[in-house]
């Protein structure tokens, strides 16, 4: 594990959407400004590393606000379902095939 800056609040420690108040602590890092992530991570393609849900004022459902996700076991390939965007083509929800990561492990 390692510590990284909280993507959701930009390491400010406050809720970026001021919910329920401007003084609300960031729900991802609980106001610390940093979050613990796995040693090897990749940027979350679903939210573009912002930690925020692309459509809603919520944490990204794929990385839970951290902006990064655990690396997929190698070798990997671009997810054929979403073309690497992490979004299901029609629903815009996280792609079920890759879980929103945009890449999948190549099964042997």
Binding-site ranges for Zn ion (CB under 5 A): 6, 8-9, 26, 28-29, 44, 46-47, 60, 62-63, 79, 81-82, 95, 97-98
State in angstroms the smallest separation of the CB of 108 from Zn ion.
Answer: 19
Vertex 93 angle, CA 47 and 49, to 5°: 10
Vertex 48 angle, CA 45 and 51, to 5°: 105
Nearer residue to Zn ion within complex by CB, 60 or 72: 60
State in angstroms the smallest separation of the CB of 76 from Zn ion.
Answer: 12
């Amino acid at each position: 594990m390692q510590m990284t800056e909280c993507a959701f609040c930009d390491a400010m420690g406050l809720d970026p959407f001021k919910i329920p108040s401007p003084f609300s602590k960031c729900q991802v890092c609980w106001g610390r400004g940093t979050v613990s992530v796995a040693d090897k991570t990749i940027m979350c393609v679903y939210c573009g590393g912002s930690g925020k849900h692309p459509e809603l004022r919520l944490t990204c459902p794929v990385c839970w606000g951290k902006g990064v996700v655990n690396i997929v076991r190698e070798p990997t390939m671009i997810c054929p379902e979403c073309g690497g965007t992490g979004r299901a083509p029609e629903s815009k929800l996280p792609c079920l095939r890759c879980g929103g990561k945009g890449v999948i492990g190549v099964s042997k």
